[in-house]
């Protein structure tokens, strides 16, 4: 295969910029515009001569997960009409027969079949299946849990949070009345730690199982164990005998045998989706800058194609916000005879209320452009999409067990992902998919996404298993056996974090970490912060780190810039800068906060989310008996608490000026978004994540003292020699 069309290196370079106002940038776009416009225009207008006009079948549906409400009159009739028209409705009788006679059932429903919204209602309407207990429906993504919950509440004609509710990290919209509860895989796993029998639930439905996320695979094994316990007529805390737990696994891809075999030969039911043809187009030549190509593709679609909204798949928040600004700037200069562009963003860090904007109806004379991560591949139904622009890339987190370091890598997608992305264009009518890579790239892509369980840090999973009193980790029923080395390294990591005693048993520190809604390293920071007397400051920093990008950036001839940020910078690095931003934002009134964010080029949306997360983390800390303390200006205490948790993410500067990770010797460079980029620390640094593009970059960087490592992480650094 030829070189890839979209290259992660160039894409990442563009990701760091956000405007096209300076001269050099204008020249770049003018010279690139001719190339990009020509290539993309060929893709759209000259498909017969220069592109492959392959026709693919893609899924279609008229269902829509929009904001919930209580329907009445004609709206009620319309909802009933839509429900009855869904493909899953045709299979209802056969489907329910299989669910009634089997403890576990695997449902393969093509995207658009209606399985996510309808099957929970079918099960609820059959009281013999639930025994008066709740139906839990898990989703791998928060936005799906929220949007589908609202849709089902709308369809049932009930107030959201009553009969139908949801629970995601830091947010619970449910009540004692709730009988259908949508929640993320991680939230149900946390419930299983507190309630190992999942005694509130009569039926558990695991949706989007094909995504094979770490939490989904862990949940499948956990549920299998709960099923085994519930077969023995066990009692709950109130002395009630619990009925057997029914499990329904739902997938959008044909990997039925994997799930059926895991659940001891569970029956499989297939449901077709509504399919419409989608024309596939590939670029004639590899695109050097896929962000630029995506922009011109969108503009050309808007100019040349029939009405219909556009969905663009990108790799992350910064990239999405960058392209959003580029399109909005171009949109203001569009001629009067083309539709107005309504650019909408969709990524995990967006607050739920902003994520819901993608479901709003597009006004007449307007074309909605949805810029999304792979969050929009399968979990959501967005009405009106007729065109998909696929970068062919996504961000994938990979863990290196020997070093204990996580790496975020921009990687080519799998063929199954490419098919799912294309399918978004054919949900309601024939559509078109423009792939920003050459056709000969497709056969070189892996067929399926590698399960997270086989490539990510398992310390969080192992900690939860220990909290569930599963000491023989290797015997846990994972759907795919994770690498033994990864499990052993996770045990070593938890021991180094002081979560396990010398016998490998969970201790008091580990039990608190397991109950805290953060990954083990971050949770360890909170416990250390109590000892250091800086709980308040550490919680604020961890909340800020949970929101992704806080600052807006522009570019000029000297590189990435945020002039206003200089007023907020602290010489120690990003963590204390984030703390300062949080404190100054928190000191503002609600009205003043927007002006403050504008003056300092800070993302108000991200700050609002950080404030909410901080409130939730604070409540969690108090629930666990962690005292809230402030260190005032003793910032060494704050950095020490971070070192106590993230010590594996430390590096030292060599004589040649390069940084090397302490534990591996891996060379890295400080990311341009860091406040330390222009003046790198002279000795040791702590970072939060590594991102690999053309180089290995460290993000969220602070200067630390070497002595803190041997003092606060004695099991790892006391006798460790510096790698050469």
pLDDT band at 265 (very low <50, low <70, confident <90, very high): very high
In contact, 698 and 668? CB cutoff 8 Å: yes
Query: What is the average pLDDT score of the chain?
Result: 84
How big is the CA angle at 139 (ends 458 and 126), to the nearest 5 degrees? 130
**pLDDT computed for residue 233 by the predictor:** 81
Task: Over range 637-649, report the average pLDDT.
Answer: 96
Locate 591 and state its tokens: 């009205």
Domain ranges within the chain, ordered by starting residue:
8-57+275-452, 74-271, 468-508, 516-717
pLDDT average, residue stretch 681-692: 88
Say how far apart CA 61 and CA 275 lie, in whole Å.
Answer: 8
pLDDT the model gives residue 77: 83
Q: Is the pLDDT of residue 139 over 50?
A: yes
The pLDDT value recorded for residue 652 is: 93
What local confidence, expressed as pLDDT, does residue 556 receive?
Answer: 43
Predicted confidence band at 72 (pLDDT cuts at 50, 70, 90)? low
Average pLDDT over residues 496-506: 93
The continuous run of DSSP H or E covering 167 comes out as strand 164-168
* H-assigned helices in 62-132: 74-85, 87-90, 92-101, 115-125, 127-130
pLDDT at 61 over 80: no
More confident residue, 39 or 630: 630
What DSSP assignment string belongs to 207-272?
A: -SGGG--HHHHHHHHHHHHHHHHHTT--B-TTSPBPPPPEEEEEESSS-HHHHHHHTTS--EEEE-
Query: How much is the average pLDDT of 106-132?
Result: 90
pLDDT of residue 256: 83
Run of H or E residues at 147: helix 142-156
Higher per-residue confidence, 57 vs 630: 630
* Torsion (CA) 492, 494, 497, 502 in degrees, nearest 10: -70
Average pLDDT over residues 656-681: 87
Confidence of residue 52 (pLDDT cuts 50, 70, 90): very low
Segment 138-160 mean pLDDT: 93
Token pair in block for residue 404: 């204990």
Q: What number is the average pLDDT over the span 315-341?
A: 90
Segment 683-697 mean pLDDT = 86
pLDDT, one tens digit per residue, over 582-604 is 999 999 998 899 999 988 889 88
The label of the residue with tokens 């959501």 reads 380
Name residue 696's beta-bridge partners: 692
Q: Which residue has the higher pLDDT, 654 or 119?
A: 119
Averaged pLDDT, 162-178: 93
**Is-contact 392 418, C-beta < 8 A?**
yes
Mean pLDDT of 132-144: 93
493 Cβ neighbours under 8 A, 6+ residues apart? 404, 457, 459, 520, 648
How do 554-556 and 659-661 pair as beta strands?
unpaired
Mean pLDDT of all residues in 8-21: 31
Range in 402-416, 509-523, 627-641, 660-674 with the lowest mean pLDDT: 402-416
Position 696 confidence tier, pLDDT thresholds 50, 70, 90: confident
Name the CATH superfamily for 74-271. P-loop containing nucleotide triphosphate hydrolases (3.40.50.300)
Residues 340-358, mean pLDDT to the nearest whole number:
84
Span 378-402, mean pLDDT?
Answer: 85
H or E element, residue 372: strand 366-372
Half-sphere exposure of 242 (CA within 13 A, CB side): 26
Check pLDDT > 80 for residue 560.
Answer: no
Round to whole Å and give the CA distance between 117 and 609: 28
Inform me whether the pLDDT recorded for 192 exceeds 70: yes
Distances (CA, A) of 632 to 409, 615, 641, 677: 37, 19, 14, 27
Compute the average pLDDT of residues 112-129: 92
CB-based burial label for 710 (10 Å; 0-12, 13-18, 19+): middle
CB 322 within 8 A of CB 553: no
pLDDT given for residue 385 in this prediction: 94
Please give the pLDDT value at position 553: 62
> Which pLDDT does position 62 carry in this prediction?
34
Q: Phi/psi of residue 176, each to 5°?
A: -65, -25
Cβ neighbours for 503, distance < 8 A, ≥ 6 positions apart = none
pLDDT in tens, 403-445: 666 777 888 999 989 998 998 898 889 999 999 999 999 999 9
What pLDDT, on a 0 to 100 scale, did the predictor assign at position 9?
A: 32
**Element housing 316 (H / E):** none
Instruction: Report the chain's terminal Cα–Cα distance, integer Å.
Output: 38
Alpha carbons 309 and 367: distance in angstroms, whole number: 5
Q: What one-character DSSP code corresponds to residue 103? A: S
Task: Report the alpha-carbon distance of residue 242 to residue 91 in Å, rounded.
Answer: 30
Rounded Cα distance, 338 and 48, in Å: 25
Tokens of 231: 């077969």
pLDDT of residue 166: 97
What span, in angstroms and rounded, lies between the C-alpha atoms of 520 and 439? 43
Higher per-residue confidence, 201 vs 352: 201
pLDDT for 83: 87
Mean pLDDT in residue range 54-74: 41
Asked if pLDDT for residue 641 goes beyond 60, the answer is yes
Beta bridge partners of 638: none
**pLDDT (0 to 100) of residue 606:** 87
Domains 8-57+275-452 and 74-271 agree in fold: yes
What is the pLDDT at residue 353? Answer: 72
Give the pLDDT confidence score for residue 718 in this predicted structure. 61
Backbone CA torsion sign across 413, 419, 425, 427: negative
As a whole number of angstroms, the distance between CA 682 and CA 657 comes to 9
Q: In whole angstroms, what is the distance from residue 473 CA to residue 1 CA?
A: 42
Give the pair of three-digit tokens for residue 207.
């949706």
Alpha carbons 218 and 210: distance in angstroms, whole number: 13
What is the structure's pLDDT at 459? 93
| CA dist., res. 656 & res. 556, Å (int) | 28
Q: Which residues pair with 247 in a beta bridge?
A: 104, 204
Per-residue pLDDT, averaged over 504-526, amounts to 95
pLDDT for position 564: 63
What is the spatial distance between Cα 163 and Cα 152, in angstroms, rounded to a whole number?
A: 10
363: exposed, middle or buried (Cβ count in 10 Å: 0-12, 13-18, 19+): exposed
If you classify domain 8-57+275-452 with CATH, what class do you get?
alpha beta
Q: Are 606 and 550 in contact, with CB atoms under 8 Å apart?
A: yes
Q: Give the count of alpha carbons within 13 A of 171, CB side only.
A: 18
pLDDT score at 708? 95
User: Which residues sit opposite 607 in a β-bridge?
Assistant: none
pLDDT bin (cut points 50, 70, 90) of residue 400 is confident
Distances 247 to 70, 232, 244, 302, 306 between C-alpha atoms, Å: 29, 16, 10, 45, 44
Write the CA distances from 705 to 572, 580, 640, 643, 709, integer angstroms.
11, 21, 9, 10, 8
In 456-577, which ranges are E strands? Answer: 554-556, 559-561
b/e string for 585-609 if b means 16 or more Cβ within 10 A?
beeeeeeebeebbeebbbbebbbbb
* Structure-model confidence comparison of residues 527 and 9, the more confident one: 527
Percent of the chain with pLDDT over 90: 53
């Amino acid at each position: 295969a030829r070189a890839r069309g979209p290259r992660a290196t160039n894409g990442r370079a563009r990701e760091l910029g956000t405007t096209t106002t300076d001269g050099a940038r204008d020249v770049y776009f003018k010279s690139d515009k001719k190339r990009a416009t020509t290539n993309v225009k060929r893709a759209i207008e000259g498909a017969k001569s220069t592109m492959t006009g392959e026709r693919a079948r893609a899924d279609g549906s008229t269902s829509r997960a929009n904001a919930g409400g209580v329907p009445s009159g004609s709206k009620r009739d319309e909802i009933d009409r839509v429900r009855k028209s869904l493909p899953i409705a045709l299979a209802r009788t056969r489907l329910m027969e299989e669910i009634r006679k089997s403890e576990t059932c695997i449902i393969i429903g093509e995207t658009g079949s209606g399985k996510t919204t309808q099957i929970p209602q079918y099960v609820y309407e059959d009281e013999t299946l639930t025994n008066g207990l709740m139906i839990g429906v898990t989703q791998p993504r928060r936005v799906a849990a929220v949007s589908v919950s609202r849709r089902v509440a709308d369809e049932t004609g009930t107030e959201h949070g009553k009969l139908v509710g949801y629970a995601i990290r830091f947010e619970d919209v449910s009540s004692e009345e709730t009988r259908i509860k949508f929640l993320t895989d991680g939230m149900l796993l946390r419930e299983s730690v507190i309630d190992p029998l999942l005694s509130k639930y009569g039926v558990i439905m695991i949706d989007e199982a094909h995504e094979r996320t770490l939490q989904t695979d862990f949940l499948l094994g956990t549920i299998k164990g709960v099923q085994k316990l519930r077969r023995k007529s066990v009692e709950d805390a109130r002395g009630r005998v619990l009925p057997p737990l029914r499990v329904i696994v739902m997938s959008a891809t044909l990997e039925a045998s994997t799930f059926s075999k895991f659940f001891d030969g569970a029956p499989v039911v297939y449901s077709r989706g509504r399919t419409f043809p989608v024309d596939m187009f590939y670029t004639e030549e590899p695109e050097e800058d896929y962000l630029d190509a995506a922009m011109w593709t969108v503009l050309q679609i808007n100019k040349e194609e029939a009405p219909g909204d556009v969905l663009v798949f990108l790799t992350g928040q910064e990239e999405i916000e960058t392209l959003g600004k580029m399109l909005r700037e171009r949109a203001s200069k569009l001629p009067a005879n083309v539709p107005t562009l309504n650019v909408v963003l969709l990524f995990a860090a967006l607050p739920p209320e902003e994520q819901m904007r993608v479901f709003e109806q597009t006004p007449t004379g307007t074309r909605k452009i949805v810029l999304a991560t792979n969050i929009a591949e399968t979990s959501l139904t967005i009405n009106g999409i007729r065109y998909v622009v696929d970068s062919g890339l996504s961000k994938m987190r990979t863990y290196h067990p020997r070093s204990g370091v996580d790496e975020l890598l921009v990687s080519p997608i799998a063929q199954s992902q490419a098919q799912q992305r294309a399918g978004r264009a054919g949900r309601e009518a024939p559509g078109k998919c423009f792939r920003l890579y050459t056709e000969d790239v497709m056969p070189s892509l892996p067929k399926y996404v590698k399960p997270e369980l086989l490539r990510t840090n398992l310390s969080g999973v192992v900690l939860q298993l220990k909290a569930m009193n599963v000491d023989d980790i290797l015997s846990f029923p994972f759907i795919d056996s994770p690498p033994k080395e990864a499990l052993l390294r996770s045990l070593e990591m938890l021991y180094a974090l002081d979560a396990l005693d010398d016998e490998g048993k969970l201790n008091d520190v580990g039990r608190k970490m397991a109950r805290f809604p953060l990954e083990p390293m971050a949770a360890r920071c909170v416990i250390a912060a109590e000892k250091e007397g800086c709980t308040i400051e550490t919680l604020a920093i961890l909340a800020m780190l949970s929101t992704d990008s806080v600052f807006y950036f522009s570019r000029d001839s000297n590189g990435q810039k945020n002039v206003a940020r200089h007023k907020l910078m602290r010489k120690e690095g990003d963590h204390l800068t984030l703390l300062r931003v949080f404190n100054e934002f928190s000191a503002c009134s609600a009205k003043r906060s927007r002006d403050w964010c504008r003056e300092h080029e800070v993302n108000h949306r991200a700050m609002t989310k950080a404030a909410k997360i901080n409130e939730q983390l604070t409540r969690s800390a108090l629930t666990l008996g962690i005292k809230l303390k402030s260190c005032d200006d003793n910032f060494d205490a704050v950095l020490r608490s971070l070192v106590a948790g993230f010590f594996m993410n430390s590096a030292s500067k060599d004589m040649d000026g390069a940084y090397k990770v302490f534990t591996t010797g891996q060379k890295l460079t400080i990311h341009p978004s860091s406040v330390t980029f222009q003046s790198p620390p002279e000795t040791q640094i702590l970072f939060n994540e590594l991102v690999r593009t053309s180089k290995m970059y460290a993000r969220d960087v602070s200067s630390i003292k070497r002595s803190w490592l041997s003092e606060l992480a004695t099991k790892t650094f006391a006798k460790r020699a510096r790698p050469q």
